């Protein structure tokens, strides 16, 4: 039955991924994500329903607009496919759990934020605050349904603590840490804190490890300097995803080593 849930979430992920493509493109440009209908950026022809099936339409059209033949970036189906994989992974991680909806929303939001930060070095409030509200509401529902109120309190404390840490860093040097990362800390602390303090620690250190590794690689390849800004939100999202997906396996490994 877990396979059925994973399959359902994978299909849902394809649809959500299609919407995330809209969010990633439009939100930084302060456009509505609801209207107008998606259109070819070259000829401006609205995309028909038959050409808007995630991944499949792009493959059938061979990556080109049906009307003008202009190439369509492979990034669109990659975002859709990636969201599908992320959703299936969440289903396998949480199973038939009240917490699953919260973490599906969380991973979708983090993915969109990471892509935007990668593109324009921005973590928009239009995404961060609604994401925080939705994750908080769904975790309240999960806590009420399972009577895990302690998890919710820990999540709230971790959210405030991570925010406070990043706020102080930003206060000391805005060049070192942007305020978008400070806002995102509220979401990360809440989402990881509900799973446990150890997940918060894993997520934080994994984010910095990933960021350091990429930064060193870029400097070694002479693609960046020591003072070159990096999209830290990307690594925060990666660290959080690592803690969510692999935190339990890491705990088990450490317990077995200690046994």
Nearest-angstrom CA–CA distance, 81 and 64: 18
Contact status, residue 203 vs residue 243, Cβ threshold 8 Å: yes
What pLDDT was estimated at residue 218?
Answer: 86
Q: Containing domain of residue 32, as a range?
A: 1-85
Nearest partner of 186 among 125, 100, 122, judged by Cα = 125
- Chain centroid offset of residue 83 CA: 9
Neighbours of 96 (CB within 10 A): 10
Contact status, residue 120 vs residue 24, Cβ threshold 8 Å: no
pTM of this prediction? Answer: 0.94
How many independent structural domains does the chain possess?
2
Span 66-119, pLDDT tens digits? 888 889 899 999 999 999 999 999 999 999 999 999 999 999 999 999 999 999
Whether residues 158 and 54 share a domain: the answer is no
pLDDT at residue 259 above 60?
no
Does residue 1 lie in a domain region? yes
Span 159-192, pLDDT tens digits? 999 999 999 999 998 888 999 999 999 999 999 9
Contact status, residue 9 vs residue 91, Cβ threshold 8 Å: yes
Whether residues 156 and 228 share a domain: the answer is yes
Token readout for 166 is 């990043």
Whether residues 66 and 136 share a domain: the answer is no
pLDDT at residue 254 above 80?
no
Neighbours of 256 (CB within 10 A): 8
pLDDT greater at residue 114 or residue 250? 114
Whether residues 134 and 244 share a domain: the answer is yes
Q: For a pLDDT cut of 90, what percent of the chain falls above it?
A: 75
What pLDDT was estimated at residue 176?
Answer: 83
Whether residues 144 and 253 share a domain: the answer is yes
Mean pLDDT along residues 131-155: 96
Angle among Cα 169, 235, 141 to the nearest 5 degrees reads 90
Q: CA end-to-end span of the chain, whole Å?
A: 33
Whether residues 225 and 158 share a domain: the answer is yes
What pLDDT was estimated at residue 227?
Answer: 75
Whether residues 120 and 187 share a domain: the answer is yes
Q: How many helices (H) and strands (E) does the chain have?
A: 9, 0
Distances (CA, A) of 118 to 23, 139, 173, 238: 14, 28, 21, 12
C-alpha dihedral sign at 94, 193, 108, 209: negative
Dihedrals φ, ψ of 82, to 5°?
Answer: -65, -40
What pLDDT was estimated at residue 258?
Answer: 61
Whether residues 157 and 251 share a domain: the answer is yes
Span 5-29, pLDDT tens digits? 999 999 999 999 999 999 999 999 9
Whether residues 144 and 188 share a domain: the answer is yes
Token readout for 150 is 């302690």
Nearest partner of 196 among 150, 138, 160, judged by Cα = 150
The chain-wide mean pLDDT, for the chain, equals 92
Whether residues 190 and 166 share a domain: the answer is yes
What pLDDT was estimated at residue 225?
Answer: 81
Using the 8-state DSSP alphabet, how is residue 97 labeled? -
Does residue 177 lie in a domain region? yes
Nearest-angstrom CA–CA distance, 178 and 123: 9
Structure confidence at residue 49 as a pLDDT band (50, 70, 90)? confident
Angle among Cα 37, 130, 83 to the nearest 5 degrees reads 60
Contacts of 91 (CB under 8 A, 6+ apart): 2, 5, 6, 8, 9, 10, 100
Nearest-angstrom CA–CA distance, 19 and 54: 10
């Amino acid at each position: 039955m877990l396979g059925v849930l994973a399959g359902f979430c994978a299909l849902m992920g394809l649809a959500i991924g299609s919407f995330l493509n809209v969010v990633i493109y439009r939100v930084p440009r302060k456009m509505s994500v609801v209207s107008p209908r998606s259109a070819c950026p070259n000829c401006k022809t609205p995309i028909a329903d038959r050409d808007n099936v995630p991944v499949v339409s792009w493959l059938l059209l061979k990556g080109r607009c049906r009307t003008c033949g202009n190439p369509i970036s492979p990034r669109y189906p990659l975002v859709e496919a990636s969201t599908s994989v992320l959703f299936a992974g969440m289903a396998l991680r949480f199973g038939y759990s009240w917490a699953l909806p919260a973490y599906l929303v969380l991973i979708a939001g983090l993915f969109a934020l990471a892509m935007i930060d990668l593109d324009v070095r921005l973590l928009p409030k239009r995404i961060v605050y609604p994401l925080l509200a939705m994750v908080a509401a769904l975790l309240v529902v999960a806590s009420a349904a399972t009577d895990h109120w302690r998890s919710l309190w820990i999540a709230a404390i971790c959210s405030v603590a991570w925010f406070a840490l990043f706020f102080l860093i930003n206060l000391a040097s805005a060049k070192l840490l942007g305020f978008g990362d400070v806002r995102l800390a509220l979401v990360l602390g809440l989402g990881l804190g509900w799973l446990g303090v150890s997940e918060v620690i894993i997520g934080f250190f994994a984010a910095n490890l990933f960021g350091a590794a990429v930064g060193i690689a870029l400097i070694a390849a002479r693609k960046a300097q020591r003072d070159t800004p990096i999209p830290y939100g990307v690594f925060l999202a990666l660290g959080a995803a690592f803690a969510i997906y692999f935190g339990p396996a890491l705990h088990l490994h450490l317990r077995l080593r200690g046994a």
